[in-house]
């Protein structure tokens, strides 16, 4: 069971949070990520946030992925 | 009048007449309908196009439309896809006992608005009422008649190698808008269904080119299914590029959330056109001038290779086969 | 081998197989929770659906899988109340809204989903919802990887480890794989470039002869995983054996509801009589799940087994290898269909 997508926390309300991605809003449970706060990105899986996305790591990976993407454009 | 539909509204007696006279006629009035004869009489000569459709959408109200608007646009579009100018529609409603009259009024208003925009008249109608539980609120069946100008020959079997494939705008809007209203999926967005009558867009396309070979609206089953239908009917191959297919960010996000592929999600206001490559650019330019064609794009072409199959070049580079939708579009978890 | 069905799907959808050099051969593993549900367990779910005053709630993928004699979809058409839910939260709500019925949630999935099922049991208890039950068919990833490696059926050099299972369990549970079997392990994300990056790192480990567990999805996966989620899971579930389709019983690879929550256990609350399970003739789902066969090698693939008329689960579930191959096949492997 692997489908989880990154969504941004708009507001926190106890055990739940209002999240948003590209204009789509959804209420999710944050029982597994109580440390999540407004502005954080979390991984959403079947209505629950299963982990907070590490922004620094995300940026690192994004850089790496962009590097690969530019290499593959060459070939 | 009472505030919800009773079985008596369908019995043919006084309440039935009241229903038609107060809830339908004032909004859909036209000479043929007003006569309230058993059948509508009209004159038409030339090549006629005729279509029928059933509408059982759930929920009946969704962002951007309702079952009434859908019924009119869907029928009008079916006629337009063969290059016909839609003229007259018939509309039959099967209503569940207990359905709110206020909701019925809303739907009839939508039907009126859509018919006005498409410039068609609803000249025959029927209403029946069934016991509570025997119909899911409201089912609508329509049929439509249109007239095809001489020289216009548009059919799913006419695609030829070398033709370009045009798409009038973003895909997946309707299906996702409807799904967002379904219980359990529970996401909200500003996205509206793309439900719209396309007959004027089509007639504008026909004005600039007489070399439009096929047109189809990618409704249930989405763009992928429609492209497959055309490929099989014309016995040609179709090659499209994923990067060229317009998809709204919201639709992409919602599809990710649900594990769906936008190319399989229903549209109710889009047209796929297969045209002679020489005219592709000017048809595209004309489409973009119409409000329903603003995001139109050339998404691919027709080939001799792999007849009957649709190939898509993915964003990453390699190509893969795109099959028709099989089974139901179920939200994926994994 | 990629373990996770989501990776199988992504690999085929993005044409990854065509981008990697011919020296890299990719096999799909048992990472599709629908595909690895034992036929007998599915038969049980279908039998439960036919009980009076029962509402079955399930994730979408399950309803079309053919059991020995029927499917949840067929049961629904025959009048059973079978509802697709997106989240366990919805299943609990359905129970709350239907106090006169028993609502049974078919609990399939791996470690990504297990916490959400545990959370639903706790919520039902908290809100005193008496009519909510779970049929616990949850399975665990590292034990089945061990079983596959022990069988030696497929000589693996590297494993693309599941991305979101790892968000929950972290990277430590995989350490036995390089240590005891010398097989490289890289945890991957799901974007096409994530997967290519992962394969690149696997090849590097293999070429250097230095197998280890690497996280190529650092934005989501921490070595210790999500402790809170796992604690909640361990509160409700205990580890026991599980019956994997195509593999058989694998010890310590499934989750069972603990005694203190046994009133939510569908297995304890309901009895159904079942006919002996039977596998469809000629179906090679078991082999495909273990990576021992490719979908194209199954004689039924595409000819008799299609998404509209699936013979086995691998063709039904969108995560199944056969379905992915069918839907995203290239011209080269379309075998003139």
Per-residue pLDDT at C206 exceeds 70: yes
Rg of chain A's alpha carbons, rounded to an integer?
15
pLDDT in tens, C60-107: 878 988 899 999 999 999 999 999 988 999 999 999 999 999 999 999
Contact B333 A1 (CB under 8 A): yes
What phi, psi does C242 have (nearest 5°)? -140, 150
pLDDT of A43 strictly over 50: yes
Q: How is residue C130 annotated by DSSP?
A: T
Q: Is residue C67 within 8 Å of residue C37, measured between CB atoms?
A: no
Q: Which residues of B touch A44 (CB under 8 A)?
A: 257
Buried b vs exposed e over C270-295: b needs ≥16 C-beta within 10 Å? beeeeeebeebeebbbbbbbbbbbbb
Task: Answer yes or no: do C64 and B327 touch at CB < 8 A.
Answer: yes
The residues pairing with C301 across neighbouring beta strands, listed in sequence order, are: C305
Across residues B2-8, what is the average pLDDT? 86
Residue A63 touches partner B, C-beta closer than 8 Å: no
Largest CA distance in chain C: 63
Using pLDDT thresholds of 50, 70 and 90, give the confidence band for residue C337.
very low
Q: Quick one: three-class SS letters along C35-98?
A: CCECHHHHHHHHHHHCCCCEEEEECHHHHHCCCCCCCHHHHHHCCCEEEECCCHHHHHHHHHHC
End-to-end CA distance of chain C: 27
CATH class of B164-322: alpha beta
Q: Which domains does chain C have, with CATH numbers?
A: 2-31+141-215 (3.40.50.11750), 39-139+226-269 (3.40.50.11740), 285-328 (no CATH)
| Residue range B234-276, pLDDT digits in tens | 999 999 999 999 999 999 988 888 778 899 999 999 999 999 9
Share above pLDDT 90 across residues of chain B, in percent, rounded to a whole number? 72
**Closest residue on chain C to B323 (Cα):** C327
Question: C318: pLDDT confidence band, cut at 50, 70 and 90?
Answer: confident
- Rounded to a whole number of angstroms, the distance from the CA of B210 to the nearest CA of chain A is 39
Residues 30-49 of C with CB under 8 A from A: 31, 33
Which residue, among C125, C135, C58, C133, has the nearest Cα to C95 in the 3D structure? C133
Q: How confident is the model at residue B1 (pLDDT cuts 50, 70, 90)?
A: low
A72–B250 C-beta distance less than 8 A: no
pLDDT at B199 over 70: yes
Write the residue in C4, C60, C334 that is nearest to B333 by C-beta: C60
Question: Least CB-CB distance to B253: which of A3, A23, A27?
Answer: A23
Cα–Cα distance between B280 and B298 in angstroms, integer?
Answer: 8
Residue B317 has pLDDT above 90, yes or no: no
CB contact under 8 A, C112 and A1: yes
Backbone φ and ψ for A21, nearest 5 degrees, come out as -150, 120
Task: Give B191→chain A minimum CA distance, Å.
Answer: 8
CB contact under 8 A, C317 and B306: no
Please check whether the domain covering B7-148 is classified as CATH 3.30.1600.10: no
Q: Provide the pLDDT for residue C307.
A: 84
pLDDT per position as a tens digit, B144-196: 999 999 999 999 999 999 999 999 999 999 999 998 887 666 677 788 999 99
Residue B287 scores a pLDDT above 50: yes
Return the axis-axis angle of helices B277-288 and B199-208, rounded to nearest 10°.
Answer: 140
- Provide, rounded to the nearest whole percent, the portion of chain C with pLDDT above 90: 69
Neighbours of chain C (3+ CB pairs under 8 A): A, B
For the stretch B26-59, pLDDT in tens is 888 888 888 888 889 998 889 999 999 999 988 8
| Domain residue extents for chain A | 5-74
Q: C330: pLDDT confidence band, cut at 50, 70 and 90?
A: low
Give the nearest chain B residue to C4 (CA atoms): B334
The pLDDT of residue B332:
56
The pLDDT mean for chain C works out to: 92
Antiparallel, parallel or unpaired: β B297-303 and B164-167: antiparallel
- Is a pLDDT exceeding 80 seen at residue A70? no
The answer to whether domain B7-148 and domain B164-322 are alike in fold is: no
Helix then strand then coil, % of chain A, to nearest 5: 25, 40, 30
8 Å CB contact between B15 and B6:
yes
Secondary element (H or E) of residue C255: strand C248-257
Q: Which two tokens stand for residue C292?
A: 């021992």
Q: DSSP label at C37?
A: B
Which residues of B lie closer than 8 Å to C, measured between beta carbons?
183-186, 258-259, 306, 309, 311, 314-321, 323, 326-327, 330-334
Locus of tokens 């006419």:
B158
Q: Is A56 on the interface with B (CB under 8 A)?
A: no
Helical H segments across B81-172, by residue range? 101-118
> Any idea which residue has 């509204």 for tokens?
B9
What does the DSSP 8-state code read for residue B152?
A: -
pLDDT digits 0-9 by tens, C220-272: 999 999 999 999 999 999 999 999 998 999 999 999 999 999 999 999 999 99
Would you state the pLDDT for residue C335? Answer: 41
In chain A, whose CA is at the least distance from the CA of C60? A46
Tell me the pLDDT tens digit for each residue of C114-123. 999 999 999 9
The ranges assigned to domains in chain B are 7-148, 164-322
| pLDDT of B212 above 50 | yes
Q: Is A21 on the interface with B (CB under 8 A)?
A: yes
Matching CATH number, A5-74, of 3.40.50.720, 2.30.30.140, 3.30.470.20, 3.30.9.10: 2.30.30.140
pLDDT at residue B239 in the model = 97
- In this prediction, what percent of chain C has a pLDDT beyond 70? 98
What pTM was estimated for this model as a whole? 0.85
Q: Is the pLDDT of residue C300 over 70?
A: yes
**Could you tell me if A26 lies within 8 Å of chain B, comparing CB atoms?**
yes
Average of pLDDT values for A19-41?
92
Q: CA triplet C252, C254, C256: central angle to 5 degrees?
A: 110
Greater model confidence, B223 or B14: B223
What's the rounded mean pLDDT across residues C186-191? 92
C113–A46: do the CB atoms touch at under 8 Å?
Answer: yes
Give phi and psi for C61, each to the nearest 5. Answer: -55, -30
Please count the residue pairs, one from chain A and one from chain B, whose beta carbons lie less than 8 angstroms apart: 43
List B94's β-bridge partners, or say none. B128, B139
Q: Is C228 close to A65, i.e. CB distance below 8 A?
A: no
Contact B288, B294 (CB under 8 A): yes
- C-alpha–C-alpha distance, residues C214 and C210, integer Å: 11
Instruction: Suggest the residue from B189, B261, B313, B317 to mutate for an interface test with chain A (most A CBs closer than 10 A).
Output: B189
pLDDT of residue B324: 86
Q: Across the interface, do C226 and A58 touch by the CB < 8 Å criterion?
A: no
Q: Which of A9-13, B164-168, B233-237, C325-329 has the lowest mean pLDDT?
A: C325-329
Rounded to a whole number of angstroms, the distance from the CA of B328 to the nearest CA of chain C is 9
């Amino acid at each position: 069971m692997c489908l989880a997508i990154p969504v941004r926390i708009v507001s926190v309300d106890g055990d739940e949070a209002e999240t948003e991605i590209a204009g789509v809003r959804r209420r999710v449970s944050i029982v597994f990520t109580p440390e999540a706060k407004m502005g954080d990105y979390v991984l959403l899986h079947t209505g629950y946030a299963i982990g907070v996305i590490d922004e620094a790591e995300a940026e690192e990976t994004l850089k790496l992925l962009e590097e690969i993407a530019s290499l593959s454009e060459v070939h | 009048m009472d505030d919800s539909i009773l079985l008596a509204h369908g019995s043919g007696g006084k309440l039935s007449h009241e229903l038609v006279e107060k809830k339908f006629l004032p909004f859909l009035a036209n000479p043929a309908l007003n006569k309230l004869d058993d059948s509508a009489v009209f004159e038409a000569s030339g090549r006629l196009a005729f279509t029928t459709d059933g509408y059982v959408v759930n929920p009946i109200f969704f962002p951007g439309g309702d079952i009434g608007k859908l019924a009119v646009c869907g029928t009008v579009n079916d006629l337009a896809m063969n290059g016909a100018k839609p003229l007259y529609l018939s509309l039959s409603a099967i209503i569940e006992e207990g359905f709110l009259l206020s909701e019925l009024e809303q739907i009839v208003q939508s039907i009126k608005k859509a018919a006005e925009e498409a410039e068609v008249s609803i000249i025959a109608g029927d209403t029946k009422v069934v016991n509570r539980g025997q119909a899911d609120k409201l089912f609508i069946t329509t049929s439509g008649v249109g007239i095809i100008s001489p020289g216009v020959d548009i059919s799913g079997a006419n695609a030829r190698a070398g033709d370009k494939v045009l798409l009038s705008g973003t895909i997946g809007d309707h299906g996702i808008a409807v799904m967002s209203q379904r219980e359990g999926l529970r996401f909200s967005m500003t996205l509206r269904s793309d439900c719209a009558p396309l007959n004027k867009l089509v007639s504008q396309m026909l004005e600039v080119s007489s070399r439009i070979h096929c047109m189809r609206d990618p409704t249930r089953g989405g763009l992928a299914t429609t492209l497959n239908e055309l490929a099989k009917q014309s016995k040609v191959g179709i090659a499209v590029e994923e990067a060229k297919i317009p998809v709204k960010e919201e639709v992409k996000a919602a599809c990710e959330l649900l594990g769906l592929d936008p190319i399989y999600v229903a549209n109710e206001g889009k047209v796929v056109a297969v045209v002679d490559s020489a005219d592709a650019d000017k048809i595209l330019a004309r489409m973009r001038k119409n409000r329903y064609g603003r995001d139109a794009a050339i998404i691919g072409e027709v080939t001799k290779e792999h007849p009957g199959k649709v190939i898509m070049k993915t964003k990453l580079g390699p190509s893969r086969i795109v099959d028709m939708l099989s089974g139901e579009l179920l939200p994926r978890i994994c | 081998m990629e373990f996770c069905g989501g990776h199988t799907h992504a690999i085929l959808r993005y044409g990854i197989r065509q981008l990697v050099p011919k020296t890299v051969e990719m096999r799909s593993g048992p990472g599709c929770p629908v595909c690895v549900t034992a036929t007998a367990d599915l038969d049980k779910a279908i039998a439960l659906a036919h009980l009076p005053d029962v509402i079955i709630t399930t994730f979408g993928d399950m309803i079309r899988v053919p059991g020995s004699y029927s499917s949840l979809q067929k049961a629904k058409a025959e009048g059973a109340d079978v509802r697709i839910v997106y989240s366990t939260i919805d299943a609990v709500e359905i129970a709350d809204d239907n106090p006169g019925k028993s609502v049974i949630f078919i609990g399939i999935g791996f470690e990504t989903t297990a916490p959400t099922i545990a959370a639903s049991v706790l919520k039902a208890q908290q809100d005193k919802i008496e009519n909510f039950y779970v049929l616990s068919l949850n399975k665990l990833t590292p034990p089945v990887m061990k079983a596959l490696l022990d069988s030696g059926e497929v000589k693996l050099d590297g494993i693309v480890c599941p991305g979101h299972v790892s968000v929950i369990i972290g990277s430590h549970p995989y350490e036995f794989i390089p240590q005891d079997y010398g097989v490289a392990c890289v945890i991957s994300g799901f974007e096409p470039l994530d997967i290519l990056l992962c394969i690149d790192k696997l090849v590097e480990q293999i070429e250097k002869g230095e197998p280890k567990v690497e996280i190529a999805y650092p934005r989501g996966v921490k070595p210790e995983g999500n402790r809170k989620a796992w604690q909640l899971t361990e509160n409700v579930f205990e580890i026991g054996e599980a019956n994997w389709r195509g593999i058989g019983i694998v010890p310590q690879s499934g989750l069972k509801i603990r005694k203190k929550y046994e009133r939510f256990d569908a297995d304890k609350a309901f009895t159904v009589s079942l006919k002996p399970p039977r596998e469809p003739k000629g179906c090679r789902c078991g082999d495909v799940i273990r990576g021992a066969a490719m979908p194209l090698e199954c004689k039924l693939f595409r000819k008799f087994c299609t998404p509209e008329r699936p013979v086995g689960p691998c063709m039904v579930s969108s995560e199944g290898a056969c379905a992915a191959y069918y839907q995203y096949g290239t011209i080269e492997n379309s075998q003139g269909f």
